[in-house]
Chains A and B, each alone.
Chain A
Amino acid sequence: MPPRNLLGDTWLVFCRVMLPVVRNPVAVVFGIAQPLLYLGLFGPLLGEGGWQWFVPGLLVQMALFGTAYAGFSLLPEVRTGVMERLRVTPVSRIALLVGRVGKDVVLLVVQSLLIMLAAMLFGFRATAGQMLLGLGLVALLGIAIGSVSYAIALKVKLEYVFASVLSATIVPLMLLSGVLLPMSNGPRWLYWLSRINPLAHVVDAERSIFNPGTVLYGLISVAALVLVGVFYGVRTFNKESA
């Protein structure tokens, strides 16, 4: 038997969850229906120069919604014996989490790219370098949120509990991130609330990639989110697999 390695295990777990998607890519297309609707039916309300401001926010919103719901795919595998079966194999427990998150991040990046290209038809402008940076930031955010989503799914185990946990956290995070309208338009208390939302800084950073501005605070935010998210996820997967 060859020695186990984390990278190899992660790759196997990634391939296992990726295969059904590759076999049936329709889900990926449905996944971009919602952001496409925002692009077509909400974006034009922001006027001529709105695209440069709106599209980066939309990408962050996709990262949030796309990966926060990722945990749902784990629930049937927990309820049937799939997770249990995997845990009795010698596969690394970390790989069981990271491989899954990897699938969601790959899907997210593909969908984000499609949305950026679609936005260009409306008048969004970006260089290849900007797009690459923008996708990178989105991917990092996806890793953080996806890890937490799987960990919470593993803890609550029930769909209806998981769904209410999600809506109770995602909606305020999104509203306070300034994705749809600038937070500076609102009263001061609302603006300050948005400042303690790490996601708002990620939105600012994503916008700064495509417009003049600083990405520093966003990068700090997203780095912190990745650290906390992955740590929490790995800890939960290790513990629940004791």
Chain B
Amino acid sequence: MIKARGLARRFTTKTGPVDAVKGVDVDVAEGELVGFLGPNGAGKSTTLRMLTTLLQPTAGEAVIAGHDLLTDPAGVRQNIGYVGQKNGSGQDQRVADELEFQARFYGLSRHDARRKVADLLERFDLQGLEKRGVITLSGGQQRRLDIAMGMLHDPRLLFLDEPSTALDPQSRRNLWDHIRQLKADGVTVFLTTHYLDEADFLSDRLLVIDHGSIVGEGSPDELKQRVSGDLVVLGTPQASIVASKFENAVVEGEQVSFRIPNGDRALPGLLRDLDNIGVELHSVQVHRPTLDDVFLTMTGRSLREEANAA
């Protein structure tokens, strides 16, 4: 669905050229739900804008949904759906009007447009809002309307830019369900996010971008396995004794933490061994590596801090 090679974008600024994206390769197969993860300013949106014809690449080439990005941008536009970071419906418009015009912009006849609008209103739980002004919708409703606007021409490939930003937890969850349903219907989805839980929950596969380059790729689980082992945290008065048994163990008061592979399976034996040497334990925790650990290992930065700062 997406095959991009060496896609790059250089911006000319007053202080000199800035390479926002430095030659990325992106491959997405049909039916995949791929998350594009990275901190703010990493080049996510710039890459997405290039893939969706909004921004001309300064180098590289791509075939999107069967059409060449450089020689046939109109063909690309006709065959992809795009839902931007910000709300795409006119604040002075009514819900059904915006949907119908959007369908007509994609070349549907008035009759087909109306039928498709009714269908999508139902699919995205927007029935009854047809005549409401866009400005009166809740954040979650506006977001669902945005996605419906991207689906009017039944694209096989949908781009979502930071779909759940600024939504409350309940609306996020609801949005995620709708996105998974799209995938179940066979739509290929490419979404950017800087939320780890979102990337984790939704994606079959992740591309991690930092400083304009792809720094990692794989399923959420594969990426997590790259972090060497699970984090085990033991509470014990004999913290230093325990620490001496494990590499790179960290002692904090009566707490010792270290990483071991497959922590969940290793733990029972490990606890028996500690019991045998007379170590007294009052708490045990095992943490699977999070995507944040992954990100930290790959880039030396925590994505969570970035997300909080945003």
Contact = CB atoms under 8 A, between A and B. Distances in A.
B interface, size bucket: 20 to 34
Contacts, number: 76
Interface in A40-95: 76-77, 79-82, 84-91
Main secondary structure of the interface of A (DSSP, over half): helix
Contact of B54 (A4, A23, A87, A90): A87
A19 B101 CA distance: 11
Contacts of B89: 80, 82, 85
A82 B54 contact: no
A25 interface: no
Nearest to B91: A76
B164 interface: no
A189 B102 CA distance: 54
Contact of B101 (A15, A76, A80, A90): A15
Contacts of A90: 74, 77-78, 105-107
A88 B86 contact: no
B55 A84 contact: no
B101 A88 contact: no
B90 A84 contact: no
Contacts of B105: 9, 12, 86, 89-91
B93 interface: yes
B93 A4 contact: no
B237 interface: no
Contacts of A84: 54, 84, 86, 88
Given A81-B84, A81-B85, A89 B90 contact: no
B97 A85 contact: no
A235 interface: no
B87 interface: yes
A20 B82 contact: no
B209 interface: no
Given A15-B101, A19-B97, A242-B56, A89 B86 contact: no
B80 interface: yes
A82 B94 CA distance: 14
A89 B77 contact: yes
17 contacts: A9-B105, A16-B101, A19-B93, A19-B97, A77-B90, A80-B87, A80-B89, A80-B90, A81-B85, A81-B88, A82-B88, A84-B54, A88-B77, A89-B77, A90-B74, A90-B106, A242-B54
